């Protein structure tokens, strides 16, 4: 199933596609437009979109107390979050969502990033809608709609895991304070009532999904022992796989991120004593040490991973993969065979979670990326389904122990409910 809402924005998205280090900025923005735009025929590249009259916009709160601990975005501005208070039976329950947006792996890419909303609160939207898992509408978010809901903005470029000891290389003023940002926002939310939570869920999309995995047990440690606390990573299970030429493109990229921002200090000590620290940022290694119940939402054919891990642009000089990497529906039989191998690698990396009685997963066969933060993919009449259940229904069954939920879709192209992104269509 292709969503026509993207068509007005494809030209813009393709133009900036090659900026891999900051590419998540573009991809997430394009996806926001895809699902949030109420004008599918527009060809403007503006971020403005129409909202129904009952759609509430949630204001940005800047973390002024962060000055005391030095918890700053890449450019030195204050970090922030959006908060919508819970009500009724959800008044003592909390859902925290960490925004995604890739990473910067060099002084140059961090310099670019600090001039965007993913590196500075100066550029963040002051009002944003809450959809999907963040929604306060029961029809869109049946199990968590009345909880206290927080969206943590992402502005450090290292999945909230950078450390200041690695700053000011080559005389460039950049703030690597992701770990401090995490701690400062948690401190503020604990003072607002999170410390008394009865139920809590930490979640995040993409690089925010990776941040969820990194901080999952720390989140659990801050909350009451008798509280139900779990974690959900959406499109954050990045694979340590070679590309089609056999190069370790993603491994090399993560090595640069970990070295640049001192990320090793935020990773599991058991792992970094056994192997090279940058290996320990891959989710397959992280889940070996997570003790908190965990749910993974991931498409088996995650388009970002296909375009940047399996077939990065530099690995396809002759353009054989050009159309396939932009639309799974344009792949030939040989390319599909390669994609099925990538799917097999994902399932193998998830084998520990498959045997974890407290774990859960929803691995569908869609060519998409994040799926929890938009109504169309989280829970609607047209949402992707496995065994006739939406992602929201599957996550709810797992969180509230209604049913063991380990949903693994059949291989592409078997699922007619999928949204398949297609970046080859003309604008």
Q: Which residues are catalytic?
A: 206, 302, 369
| C-alpha R_g of the chain | 20
Measured distance CA(176)–CA(163) in Å, rounded = 5
Report the C-alpha gap between 57 and 168 in whole angstroms. Answer: 37
End-to-end CA gap in the chain: 18
Supply angle C-alpha 183, 188, 189, rounded to 5.
Answer: 100
Beta-bridge mates of residue 422? 327
Please give the Cα distance from 391 to 406 (Å, whole number). Answer: 11
Q: How far apart are CA 325 and CA 158, in angstroms?
A: 26
Count Cβ atoms within 10 A of the Cβ of residue 413 and give its class: 0-12 exposed, 13-18 middle, 19 or more buried: middle
Structure tokens belonging to residue 302:
């995650």
94/144 Cα distance (integer angstroms): 9
Q: Parallel, antiparallel, or unpaired for β 406-408 and 360-364?
A: parallel
Beta strands 228-234 and 57-62: pairing type? unpaired
Check residue 77 and report its DSSP letter.
P
User: Is the distance from CB of 124 to CB of 101 less than 8 angstroms?
Assistant: no
Token pair in block for residue 55: 């759609």
């Amino acid at each position: 199933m292709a969503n026509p809402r993207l068509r007005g924005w494809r030209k813009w998205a393709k133009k900036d596609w090659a900026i891999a280090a900051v590419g998540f900025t573009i991809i997430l923005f394009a996806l926001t437009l895809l699902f949030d735009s109420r004008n599918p025929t527009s060809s403007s590249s503006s971020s403005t979109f129409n909202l129904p009259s009952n759609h509430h916009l949630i204001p940005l709160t800047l973390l002024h107390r962060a000055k005391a601990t030095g918890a700053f975005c890449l450019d030195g501005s204050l970090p922030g979050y959006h908060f919508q208070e819970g009500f009724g039976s959800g008044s003592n329950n909390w859902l925290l969502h960490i925004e995604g947006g890739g990473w910067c792996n060099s002084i140059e890419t961090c310099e670019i990033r600090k001039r965007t909303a993913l590196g500075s609160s100066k550029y963040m939207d002051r009002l944003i809608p809450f959809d999907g898992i963040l929604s306060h509408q029961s029809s869109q978010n049946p199990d968590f709609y009345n909880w206290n809901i927080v969206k943590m903005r992402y502005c450090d470029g290292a999945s909230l895991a950078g450390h200041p000891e690695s700053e000011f290389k080559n005389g460039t003023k950049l703030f690597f304070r992701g770990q401090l940002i995490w701690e400062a926002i948690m401190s503020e939310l604990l003072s607002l009532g999170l410390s008394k939570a009865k139920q809590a869920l930490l979640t995040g999309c993409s690089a925010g999904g990776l941040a969820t995995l990194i901080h999952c047990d720390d989140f659990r440690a801050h909350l009451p022992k008798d509280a139900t606390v779990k974690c959900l990573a959406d499109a954050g299970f990045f694979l340590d796989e070679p590309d089609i030429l056999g190069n370790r493109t993603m491994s090399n990229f993560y090595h640069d991120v970990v070295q640049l921002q001192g990320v090793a200090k935020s990773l599991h000590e058991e792992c970094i004593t056994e192997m090279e620290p940058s290996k320990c940022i891959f989710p397959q290694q992280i889940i070996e040490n997570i003790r908190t119940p965990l749910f993974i939402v991931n498409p088996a054919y995650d388009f970002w991973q296909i375009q940047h891990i399996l077939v990065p642009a530099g690995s396809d000089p002759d353009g054989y993969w050009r159309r396939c990497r932009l639309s799974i529906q344009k792949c030939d039989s040989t390319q599909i065979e390669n994609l099925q191998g990538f799917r097999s690698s994902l399932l193998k990396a998830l084998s520990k979670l498959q045997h974890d009685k407290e774990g859960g997963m929803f691995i569908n066969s869609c060519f998409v990326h994040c799926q929890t933060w938009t109504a169309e993919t989280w829970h609607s009449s047209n949402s992707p389904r496995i065994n006739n259940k939406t992602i929201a229904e599957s996550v709810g069954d797992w969180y509230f122990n209604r049913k063991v939920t380990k949903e693994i879709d059949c291989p592409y192209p078997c699922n007619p409910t999928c949204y398949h992104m297609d970046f080859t269509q003309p604008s």
